[in-house]
Amino acid sequence: SVVAEARALFDVTYRDRPEPLSRDEMRNSLASYDGVLMTLGDPYDASVFAEAGAPRARILANFGVGYNHVDVAAAKAAGLVVTNTPGAVTDATADIALTLMLMSCRRAGEGERLLRSGAWQGWHPVQMLGLHLSGKTVGILGMGRIGQAIARRCHYGFGMKVAYVSRSEKALEFPATRMDSAEALAAAVDVLVTALPGGAETRHTVNAGVLAAMKPSGHFINIARGDVVDEAALIAALQDRRIAGAGLDVYEQEPRVPEALRALDNAVLLPHLGTAALEVREEMGRMAVANLRAFFAGEDVPNPV
Ligand code: 8YV
């Protein structure tokens, strides 16, 4: 396992509990260890670095690609290198986006709940009709590695057209239309998917205005970070059926998911499963350990943030 790999290289203290680190544990990790391997549940914000004073730790290796829970500027100011695990997460996260897209558009969660409730009356020609994906247009907000992996699946696997918004034009091996705003993208597509990094710069990119621009038959999918969408505005749009459905893997205040969201039939809700496959988590761990190894060997780290 990854912990064993790390133990072969370092003197390791392994905190084997799923809960996020407490503030004391975060401060202590910086004060008492040379390097720290942490996860998205551990908010290394500016105050943790401020309270830790001059830290002993010189590297924070994040287990995951997203690092919006780390104040990178504060970490660097405190003399730490921050690394992440891009690449390892791409395909698995794109797969979960497609899972959510299919479940939301084809009403799979709703159908499963109906069957399990015992209320299914049998096949009917117009029972639970969903949105047919072939020939429809997917809009990707954020065309990085994960956005491209989602677009590729939609184009080659489902015969969908692809449109996107990204800071830069991408050289892609399949046709895709770049648009200049989230609103324009939302208005043009049948399924809107976010693959943005999260954090201050992308906060609430999908706001009430963007949701209002979507077609009433449209579906919204988020596998990125909860804060890229205004969750309250999304709940209102779903409640009023101003959009047809949503498939979410991430939330603004994980693990707290608003009761109003959980009550909605037209929302598919997964508990942040983006990278939840053994091989993927092992690869993420190997990458995090490789960054630590390189750093302490005096080499350039492979995945600096
Ligand atoms: C990880 C993720 O499991 O890689 C990411 O950014 O969101 C997840 O899938 C998580 O970051 C663990 O720290």
The ipTM value here is: 0.95
The span from the CA of 46 to the CA of 62, in Å, is: 16
- Asked if residues 244 and 103 have their Cβ atoms less than 8 Å apart, the reply is no
- Asked if residues 265 and 112 have their Cβ atoms less than 8 Å apart, the reply is no
Question: Is pLDDT at 229 greater than 90 in this prediction?
Answer: yes
For residue 80, name the pLDDT band (cuts at 50, 70, 90): very high
Ligand 1 atom index nearest CA of 274: 9
- Asked if residues 163 and 188 have their Cβ atoms less than 8 Å apart, the reply is yes
Preceding amide of 304 cis, omega within 30: no
Stated as kind and residue range, the H or E segment containing 46 is helix 46-52
Does residue 178 sit in helix, strand or coil? strand
In angstroms, what is the span from residue 180 Cα to ligand 1's centroid? 28
The string of pLDDT tens digits covering residues 39-60 is: 998 999 999 999 988 899 999 9
The third-level CATH classification (topology) of the domain covering 2-88+277-296 is Rossmann fold (3.40.50)
Calculate the CA 71 to chain-centre distance: 18
Ligand 1 pocket check for 88: Cβ under 6 Å = no
Specify the pLDDT at position 18: 81
- Asked if residues 290 and 302 have their Cβ atoms less than 8 Å apart, the reply is yes
Does residue 234 sit in helix, strand or coil? helix
The third-level CATH classification (topology) of the domain covering 90-269 is Rossmann fold (3.40.50)
Here the contacts of 36-39 (C-beta below 8 Å, separation 24 or greater) are 36/60, 36/61, 37/6, 37/61, 37/62, 37/63, 37/288, 37/289, 37/292, 38/62, 38/63, 39/63, 39/64
Average pLDDT, the chain: 97
For residue 202, name the pLDDT band (cuts at 50, 70, 90): very high
Specify the pLDDT at position 16: 86
- At residue 36, φ and ψ (nearest 5 deg) are -130, 130
Specify the pLDDT at position 128: 97
Ligand 1 pocket check for 39: Cβ under 6 Å = yes
Specify the pLDDT at position 87: 95
Closest residue (by CA) to atom 13 of ligand 1?
39
The span from the CA of 300 to the CA of 80, in Å, is: 14
Dig out the tokens for 290 from the structure: 């490789």
Query: In whole angstroms, how large is the CA radius of gyration of the chain?
Result: 21
User: By C-alpha distance, which of 80, 40, 37 is closest to 56?
Assistant: 80
Ligand 1 atom index nearest CA of 67: 6
The residue whose CB lies within 8 Å of the most ligand 1 atoms, and thus the one to mutate among 145, 222, 278, 284, is 284
The string of pLDDT tens digits covering residues 256-301 is: 999 999 999 999 999 999 999 999 999 999 999 999 999 999 999 9
Ligand 1 pocket check for 68: Cβ under 6 Å = no
Dig out the tokens for 227 from the structure: 């804060």
Residues annotated as part of the active site? 225, 254, 272
- At residue 163, φ and ψ (nearest 5 deg) are -130, 155
Dig out the tokens for 218 from the structure: 């449209």
Ligand 1 atom index nearest CA of 275: 9
The span from the CA of 11 to the CA of 33, in Å, is: 10
The span from the CA of 219 to the CA of 247, in Å, is: 8
Measure Cα distances from 214 to 104, 151, 162, 191, 250 in Å: 15, 19, 16, 9, 20
For residue 2, name the pLDDT band (cuts at 50, 70, 90): confident
Specify the pLDDT at position 17: 84
- The answer to whether domain 2-88+277-296 and domain 90-269 are alike in fold is yes
pTM: 0.96
Q: What is the mean pLDDT of residues 111-139?
A: 98
Dig out the tokens for 148 from the structure: 């491209």
What ranges do the domains of the chain cover? Answer: 2-88+277-296, 90-269
